[in-house]
Structure 1
Amino acid sequence: MLAYFPQIYPDELLYSVLARYHRHTGSTSPKQTLDDLFGDRHVIARPDLPGHLELLVQRIPTSRDLNRVRVIMELTLYPYFLAFADGVRRGYARQAMEARGTSGLYLKLGLAASRVPVVNVLRFCPECLLQMVGDYGELYWRRSHQLPGVLVCVDHAVPLRESSVSLGRENRHAFIAAIPENCRNSEPCWGGETASDRDHLHDLARRSVRLLSEVPPARTPVEWSRFYQEMLADRGFLRGNHKIDQSKLALRCHECFSDELFCRITGIRSGSALDTWLMAFGRKLRSSPHPLCHLLMQQFLEFLPAVERPFGKGPWPCLNPLESHCGQPLISEASIHRNRGRTIGVFRCDCGYRYCRHLSEEGLPSEWHRPLDYGRAFDAALHAATASGVSLRSIARQLHVDPNTIRRQSRRLGLQTVWQLLGTVRSSSGKSSLRPRPRRCTEVGGRKKDWPSLDAEWVNRIRTGIETIMAMDPPHRVTLTRLEGLEGKRGCLGKKLHRLPRTAELIRQAVESVGAFQWRRVKWAIVRLQEQGIAPMPWRVQKLAGLRRLPVPRGPEDEEWFDSLGGRACKG
């Protein structure tokens, strides 16, 4: 056991405590210090997730009241890096730090695949240094200053500065203490260009430091996906029932974080990094993202105000009148869709009862509901009621529905009932047959249409429509759909042309093929350029006509127009 071990200061890193031990004991060899502290000269001096802590705790004097759990939770960055991991990863990391070393731990936790760079230079706050000298007479490295993405001091809101202590391979076995010589006034970290950027940085620092003392409950990536899906839905990013509107999410996130702010925080210089990071949270998480990404996502979502959902936030009540739990909020999920301009919500209970409601013009849920499925209790009660021979209306009153619903549900269940004979008549042979329905009149107003007169009327209207389309600038293609659109009735002629021969022939002659319409646009573009005094070069004509390439001439007239183009053009 060690005869001396330094006092631990507030928010001090274990790396800093061991570095002060090396300095206080006057040791000149980092290997000798490792031998004193761990009994192993090959231990790597890591500031974030150190290993072999069980060997260290066995040598620390009992007066310091330090055990493995306290060392891991209070002196390392374990609470930060494992804040959003599941219980399996947390247990694996704790065992690696206690016993066998942390080689390959970054890979196991998924941090090695993250694009967020590792902090490789120890950082400090100038204001904190002055306070340390006044309170303790020496300097030390703070945990909160070494967290990824933390660029300002959480206590003084000033930009952090980088020391001259590098955590590269040349110092991998040395614990280097904070002293005035390696904590000079270097260039400060980026502290934000606007007040909004500075507020974001300070808020992110507070959130990051809070993880060191308040670790969230362990959750799997699937559980975190549900958590973020719920938060995104509360902020109005839900499209349909389960999909996230990625374009809307990216737009709002770019309004919250500038590209410069995001790159400075994460250290990722790619221009599309923000969109890629967002898409991961908008979909099902298959792995655990970097803790910094979690914090940025939560900061962004809490920055936005909550949006009221169309039918409120569940759970919603079950309205099955045949169940004892009627009216109790037992439905946790609802599907929402649009139908003829209305917003419809469908709610399903575990008892099988399913109903829907719609939003009124004021955006409020309707008071009445429409049953879609009546549930298992309804089917059982209907079976029992029909077997007992109760009348149709009595069964309807008993099951809280109308008689027609009883008829439909009986046919669905294949029940043989007395009222199935309703609506039938008896023939002379004793067999039942359906009553004949009155024949509908297929003519409007009971009179036949005068198709020749309608044909002549439509010919005049179609000619007017053709002239209107041909006079449009820029040109539009003459099609049957466009002619019907001018009449304000899509599909009004398609099924009647066999009764309108003159109209059909006129349309057949007037409708343009794709090639004919392209050449009409080419001619229009040439004339337009000549009117403006611009030479009709092929590329200008092609661009103005909106074509990918110039069409092939179909005859002598097209050849003349083609030859009028300046320069050479490819005929194909």
Structure 2
Amino acid sequence: MIVYFPKPYKNELYYSILARYHFYSGDIHPSYTLKELTGRARRINFEVPIGIDNLVTKAKIFSSTYSRDYFINNHTIIPLVRPFKKKEWIQKLIGSNFEGLRHNLFGNKEDDIKLKEHLYYCPECLKEQFGKYGEGYWNRFHQIPGIFVCTSHRVALIKRSVDIHNIYGIEFVVPRIDDIKKEQKKYKSDVLRSLLNLAEDVDYLLDKNFDAFPAEFFYEKYVTLLEMKGIAYPMLQRGNRLKNLLLNYYPHEFLEMLNSSFISNSSWLPKFNSNNRITTLQPIRHLLLMRLLCGSARDFFENEYLYKPFGTGPWICMNPLADHYLKKVVKKVEVSVHEANRAIQGDMKCSCGFVYRMRAWEKSPLDIEYFNNRIMKKGHIWEQKFNEFIEQKLKINEIARRTKMSRPTIRKILRDREKSSDSILKEEKKYIKISEKTSEYKKIWIDLRAKYPEYSRHELNNKNRAVYTWLRKYDKEWLEANSPDVKKVYRGRKKGYSVEADYDFLHKTQKIISTWSEFEEERQKLMRKSKYRLQKILGLGENFDSIRIKYPLTAAFIESIVESTDEFRRRRVRNVLEVKFRNEEVSFHEVAEASNLRSYKRDEREELKQYIQKLVEEHNKI
């Protein structure tokens, strides 16, 4: 039980709360404080609140607001990371009381944004803290990787000299009033502006305290924004185009500070061809992309984006035979990607059935030079009017004038119609012949069944294969309904014992064992004579119980020559002494190391140790 607990200040870092408690508690050693508050006496983690459950148990007597969620959401940097991680990852981390964190929250790869190695603070904030509270504290916002300015005072943060990641043991550091006087770093105006923008986006996320979003949320929104920027297609070029856009948008010095300038050949940008890598992208880099593509993190999370390469419509109808020609009545556009050049295209679909295609860069269909090549479908109105022109026997020149098409195009349409009519006629004739023949064969099949009522389906088929084959192809449903039921015959496949096969496998096994040393030489290492390995060499995929039943002689021989694990270890020791240390004096540890026997079982250790020691002594006497 504790008799005092410091009231946490707004955005105070979890570590800072512990440090202030230590300062006022009078504990001689920091480990006492850490053990008392968190139940741990090991090193401090500056990113996650290790031991928080123990702290909450002791601190909640001072305020009912002190809970696990209270400290996580208000005094750690987890709210910045949480929206971008999988929900299961966050639940597992918190559920394990933060013991399961193998890596830091921001990654530890060489090309990741580097963690801060020191505590940072704003001198103006510190001055206000001492003036208002009589003491200072560490702001969680200022400790986030990539944050080097204060959004409240728009000045650079100052680095405290203590290296927080190389503290030997445990140390609690609190701000001093003398820290206010330290000199601040000056940034170029464009770098300062980028740093402030990033800091504002981080501030927004900490304030909103979002839960985890699904990876699809980010992937789909990013792709929409890439489309709006005109760099989404071709998909294989997304990464390079986005990289160039980012390098042109942010100052190089700013990207260098965030280890994100692409100096190495590797790129930290996702490929944006699936949502798999979205959850591995660092939060700060997410914010860089959001600011680049839509203006800010606030805009990204609070606005909906729709890709409309052709505007909002309505669009004009290009059907010259409709009464709404050139009027804005088209309300539907179907956007797709061209299969060959991967460019964006849109099919404008009018209610009259007329469909024409435009490219994303085209402003008006009236400006398209060869527009007739863009007509995807003419529709029922156009076809109806065209048929009327044919019935009225209008000349080709007049039809071409009314349809806004050339005379060769009209001639081609007429030729295609004739071919289509001929094709339809042929199909109709073919269908009639098939129907007549099917009816005829049905009668024959019925007669066969009446003549041979006891015959099976197979026997009726043998009587007239042509009829059965035809009906199966053109009216299978009728044939099934008018045929005898299929008689199911079950044939056992169980094989009996074969002496020949057993002897054959036995001889093969004996030959393998007699040439085992050659087998090991080919693989350049010792191999244990195990049941599994012999089965694999012989090609016997069954479990060993099946082999005992099918090939008892072979199974008995295998069981008589297999090596136990201990026998194989001893053979390995003998081999090392005979081959590697031949004519050399050697120690016990050298033999154990060379034999790879460092991880043998504890209960076998003494016996094997004595065996190795005995062989080493005998070897060194020679």
**Quick check: TM above 0.5?**
yes
1:89-134 CA distance string (max 9 Å, x none): 22222223xx252541438x85556521111200011101111011
CA distance in 1, matches of 2:149, 2:53: 33
**1:197/1:269 CA distance change after superposition, 3 Å:** closer
Structure 2 contact 246–292 (Cα < 8 Å) conserved: yes
CA distance in 2, matches of 1:152, 1:56: 31
Structure 1 contact 4–61 (Cα < 8 Å) conserved: no
Q: Specify which of 194, 199, 206 is matched with residue 193 of structure 2.
A: 199
Q: Specify which of 254, 274, 277 is matched with residue 268 of structure 2.
A: 277
1:522-549 CA distance string (max 9 Å, x none): xxxxxxxxxxxxxxxxxxxxxxxxxxxx
**1:2/1:335 CA distance change after superposition, 3 Å:** same
| SS of 1:41 mapped into structure 2 | coil
Cα displacement (A) at 1:70: 1.4
Q: After the TM superposition, which residues 295-314 of structure 1 pair with which residues of structure 2 at under 5 Å, given as runs?
A: 295-303=287-295, 310-312=309-311
1:261-293 CA distance string (max 9 Å, x none): 2112x14686247x8234x35554543111111
| SS of 1:165 mapped into structure 2 | strand
Q: Specify which of 215, 219, 223 is matched with residue 225 of structure 1.
A: 219
CA distance in 1, matches of 2:218, 2:419: 45
- Paired position in structure 2 for 1:259: 252
CA distance in 1, matches of 2:363, 2:256: 41
**1:276/1:61 CA distance change after superposition, 3 Å:** same
Q: Specify which of 163, 184, 187 is matched with residue 188 of structure 1.
A: 184
- Paired position in structure 2 for 1:143: 140
CA distance in 2, matches of 1:171, 1:361: 62
| SS of 1:254 mapped into structure 2 | helix
- Paired position in structure 2 for 1:9: 9
Structure 1 contact 163–184 (Cα < 8 Å) conserved: no
| SS of 2:159 mapped into structure 1 | strand
Cα displacement (A) at 1:179: 2.3
CA distance in 2, matches of 1:361, 1:94: 50
Structure 1 contact 346–354 (Cα < 8 Å) conserved: no
Q: Specify which of 233, 240, 243 is matched with residue 239 of structure 1.
A: 233
Q: Specify which of 135, 154, 157 is matched with residue 154 of structure 2.
A: 157
Deviates most, 80-89 or 117-126 = 80-89
| SS of 2:10 mapped into structure 1 | coil
Cα displacement (A) at 1:166: 2.1
Q: After the TM superposition, which residues 332-411 of structure 1 pair with which residues of structure 2 at under 5 Å, given as runs?
A: 334-336=336-338, 345-346=345-346, 356-359=356-359, 363-364=363-364
| SS of 1:298 mapped into structure 2 | helix
CA distance in 1, matches of 2:11, 2:313: 42
| SS of 1:357 mapped into structure 2 | strand
**1:301/1:50 CA distance change after superposition, 3 Å:** same
Cα displacement (A) at 1:294: 0.9
| SS of 2:16 mapped into structure 1 | helix
Residue segments in structure 1 that go unaligned for 5+ positions in a row: 317-325, 379-391, 395-401, 422-572
Cα displacement (A) at 1:175: 2.9
Cα displacement (A) at 1:299: 1.6
Aligned length: 376
**1:269/1:200 CA distance change after superposition, 3 Å:** closer
Cα displacement (A) at 1:196: 2.1
1:136-155 CA distance string (max 9 Å, x none): 11000001111111111110
- Paired position in structure 2 for 1:79: 79
- Paired position in structure 2 for 1:123: 120
Structure 1 contact 106–112 (Cα < 8 Å) conserved: no
- Paired position in structure 2 for 1:93: 93
1:300-326 CA distance string (max 9 Å, x none): 22359999854247999xxxxxxxxx9
CA distance in 2, matches of 1:83, 1:128: 28
Give the letter aligned to residue 206 of structure 2.
L
Give the letter aligned to residue 250 of structure 1.
K
**1:405/1:39 CA distance change after superposition, 3 Å:** farther
- Paired position in structure 2 for 1:173: 170
Cα displacement (A) at 1:57: 0.8
- Paired position in structure 2 for 1:210: 204
Cα displacement (A) at 1:223: 4.4
Q: Indicate whether 1:34 and 2:31 are aligned.
A: no
Structure 1 contact 222–285 (Cα < 8 Å) conserved: yes
Cα displacement (A) at 1:2: 2.5
Cα displacement (A) at 1:253: 2.3
- Paired position in structure 1 for 2:505: none
- Paired position in structure 1 for 2:435: none
**1:372/1:138 CA distance change after superposition, 3 Å:** same
Q: After the TM superposition, which residues 465-480 of structure 1 pair with which residues of structure 2 at under 5 Å, given as runs?
A: none
- Paired position in structure 1 for 2:407: none
Structure 2 contact 19–173 (Cα < 8 Å) conserved: yes
Deviates most, 225-234 or 138-147 = 225-234
Deviates most, 67-76 or 355-364 = 355-364
Residue segments in structure 2 that go unaligned for 5+ positions in a row: 300-304, 316-328, 381-385, 389-412, 433-622
CA distance in 1, matches of 2:134, 2:421: 89
CA distance in 2, matches of 1:70, 1:268: 33
TM-score in terms of structure 1 length = 0.55
Identity of aligned residues (%): 24
**1:86/1:172 CA distance change after superposition, 3 Å:** farther
**1:298/1:416 CA distance change after superposition, 3 Å:** same
Give the letter aligned to residue 59 of structure 2.
I
Structure 2 contact 127–180 (Cα < 8 Å) conserved: no
Cα displacement (A) at 1:206: 0.6
Structure 1 contact 80–211 (Cα < 8 Å) conserved: yes
Structure 1 contact 256–300 (Cα < 8 Å) conserved: yes
**Higher helix proportion, which one?**
2
Give the letter aligned to residue 158 of structure 2.
R
Structure 2 contact 40–51 (Cα < 8 Å) conserved: no
Cα displacement (A) at 1:172: 5.1
- Paired position in structure 2 for 1:51: 50
| SS of 1:238 mapped into structure 2 | coil
The structure with the largest alpha-carbon Rg is: 2
Give the letter aligned to residue 256 of structure 1.
Y
